Chains A and B, each alone.
Chain A
Amino acid sequence: MFRIRTVLLVAALWALAIGAPPSADAERSLILATTTSVRDSGLLDALLPRFTETSGIGVRVIAVGTGAALRMGREGNADLLLTHAPSAERALVDEGVVARRTPFMQNFFVIAGPETDPAGIARMGSPAEAIAGIVEKRTCWVSRADDSGTHKREKALFRDAGLAPNLERDGLIRTGSGMGLSLQIAGQRRCYILSDIGTFLAFQERVHLVPLSQPSPSLRNVYSLLQLDESRFARPLHREEAEALEAYLLSPSTLEEIGAFGRDRFGRALFTPLTPADAPMQPKP
């Protein structure tokens, strides 16, 4: 009879409802807002399981651009931030939203492009010259255009080159997307792009781009942990959990693991941990 079958169907759905594992959620958890570059490199997948295992604290990783992550912090929508935009981070410290900012690892940005290097940037000395060359030749340039840390750095490099960063120009492609997708677009359209080295190495094979920039202080990329000031928000944060994760990430054994991460897969480390002695050295914003 029709009714019985309906009942069976609803029962089947409910069985799914109670049988399915909705989450591996721990009793205690926190929201870590971070950048797509940290997630896409696989670093967090390597570090966080051990933290959850030993502390019983689940970590909800929300991977967005640095701009969005900082905004989540400002509004109390995250408990801990891991970002890479020193000047924007310092602004939050000055505002009093961030109680503690700890630079803890670094790598560098690369300007990548097609192997043919149509603008000839491999011969140029500084990143600013390279960008000026790309703009002059009107070769295409893929911009994240998402207020991420990488996008902020791109704007700084354009300013270094004496160019207005937000100007409409020939060949400029704004993706508004994460690092991985933007690299894919740059690869498919044979464009130049600024990327953090970690994500670039992870995608290099797939996107057929090569690194073309020379090492430079203006390409230094520092990642920091930002602990929020709980008293600034109407609702409590998961402060204990955030402090536990911060302590775990800054512990000597984790820093050592960060320094080794990527060696097996890429033949080189993707990040260099910063010891407290390194930390005061700030990169050019």
Chain B
Amino acid sequence: MPSMDDTMLSPLLTITLRTLWICGSALILALLVGVPIGIALGSRQFVSRGLLVSSVNAGMGAPPVVVGLIGSILLARSGPLGELELIYTPYAMILTSTAIALPLVIGLTLAAVGSLDAEWDLQVRTLGIGRRWRIWLLVREIRMGLLAAIIAAMGGILSEVGAVRMVGGNIEGETRVLTTAIMMHTSMGEYEEALGQAAVLVGNMLVLAGLLTWIQQSGRSRG
């Protein structure tokens, strides 16, 4: 595992980097898993599709605190995945954040695929190109929707506090991230620290959302 000497960096910077590391990893995992599922659900017809789509839609509104509870039970040493010894580690937080982001990614990918013109699929098929190339064209076609999915998922997990507190434990130097640190400092009446961290969190959110929006807008202008 990558690691840097904590003393080299200020605590605020360390916490910020850890926050971005956990959110970034969870986002990538959620995209790797969620986009293919979303495309499959969106572009094929099969018997249980309706049920799956409605559970994805329900999952998009799943309360993160419930995800945290289930994660805590599963990952605790006494739980079914206890052998992995993941509870109270950053990896538990990545998994939980992934679980929170996944329905958003699947749901928005699904919506983007669904919004494609019915003609589009037919056109691509009549071109007689291979399946792999067809999927690539599809991904290109729905890229606006995918960026919306990334923005939504990122906002969701970057601002999440309850679930990551439950599975991470807010351990100093290990699992303390910006949101859990803000909550802890506020509960202890240390408003200066909490405000500083809040400013960094909001700043990160603005920069990342701005970057993604810029990519989205410039992508759109090229049509």
Given known A-B contacts A2-B222, A22-B22, A75-B78, A62 and B215 have beta carbons under 8 A apart: no
* A5 in the interface (beta carbon within 8 A): yes
A21-B2, A24-B6 given; A5·B215 CB < 8 A:
yes
A139 is an interface residue with CB less than 8 A from chain B: no
- A22 to chain B: which residues have CB within 8 Å? 1-3, 18, 21-22, 90, 174
Provide the residues of chain B in CB contact with A60, threshold 8 Å.
88, 169, 171, 174
**In the complex, which residues of chain B have a beta carbon less than 8 angstroms from the beta carbon of A75?**
76-78
| Cβ A16 vs Cβ B218 within 8 A | no
A21 closest partner in B (C-beta): B4
**Interface residue? B189 (CB, 8 A):** yes
The smallest beta-carbon distance between B28 and chain A, in angstroms, is: 6
Knowing A14-B28, A16-B20, A184-B187, the reply to whether A21 touches B222 (Cβ < 8 A) is no
Tell me which residues across on chain A come within 8 A of B188, comparing CB atoms.
40, 180-181, 184, 203
CA–CA, A77 and B211, complex, Å: 42
> CA A62 – CA B173 in complex, angstroms?
13
Contact with B along A1-21 (1 / 0, CB 8 A): 011011001100110111111
Judge if B35 is at the interface, Cβ distance under 8 Å.
no
Interface residues contributed by chain B, number (CB under 8 Å) = 43
In this assembly, does B83 line the interface, its C-beta being within 8 Å of a C-beta of chain A? yes
Q: Does B118 contact A (CB under 8 A)?
A: no
Residues of B within 8 A of A62 (CB): 88, 169, 171
Among A13, A14, A206, A234, find the residue whose CB has the most chain B CB atoms closer than 10 A.
Answer: A13
Interface string of A36-76 (1 = CB under 8 A from B): 00001000010000000000001011100000000000011
A5-B214 Cα distance, complex, nearest whole Å: 11
Q: What is the CA–CA distance of A21 and B19 in the complex, to the nearest angstrom?
A: 10
Q: Is A178 an interface residue (CB 8 A)?
A: yes
Q: Which of A6, A13, A24 contacts B28 (CB 8 A)?
A: A13
The answer on a CB contact under 8 Å between A9 and B17 is no
Q: How many A-B residue pairs have CB under 8 A?
A: 115
Q: Please, what's the 1-or-0 string for B1-35, where 1 marks a CB less than 8 Å from any CB in chain A?
A: 11111100100001001101110110110000000
The answer to whether B95 has its CB under 8 Å from any CB of chain A is no
Q: Which of B25, B143, B174, B189 contacts A203 (CB 8 A)?
A: B189
For residue B50, CB closer than 8 A to chain A, the reply is no
Q: Is the CB of A178 within 8 A of B187?
A: yes
**A206-B189 contact in complex given A13-B27, A16-B24, A75-B76, C-beta closer than 8 Å:** yes
0/1 interface trace, chain A 190-231, chain B, CB 8 Å (1 if under): 000000000000010011000000000000000000000000
Residues from chain A with a CB closer than 8 A to the CB of B3 are: 21-25
**Given known A-B contacts A2-B222, A20-B2, A184-B189, A77 and B78 have beta carbons under 8 A apart:** yes
Q: Top 9 closest A-B pairs, CB basis?
A: A20-B21, A21-B4, A20-B17, A181-B187, A23-B174, A75-B78, A13-B24, A180-B188, A2-B219
**Given contacts A62-B88, A203-B189, could you give 9 more A-B pairs where the C-beta distance is less than 8 Å?**
A5-B219, A14-B28, A18-B2, A20-B4, A21-B5, A25-B89, A180-B187, A180-B188, A235-B77
27 sampled A-B residue pairs with Cβ under 8 A: A2-B143, A2-B215, A3-B140, A5-B215, A5-B219, A9-B211, A9-B212, A13-B24, A13-B27, A19-B17, A22-B2, A22-B21, A22-B90, A23-B3, A23-B89, A24-B5, A31-B88, A60-B88, A61-B171, A77-B78, A180-B187, A181-B187, A184-B187, A233-B77, A235-B78, A235-B82, A235-B83
Chain A residues at the B interface, C-beta cutoff of 8 Å: 2-3, 5-6, 9-10, 13-14, 16-25, 31, 40, 45, 58, 60-62, 75-77, 177-178, 180-181, 184, 203, 206-207, 233-235
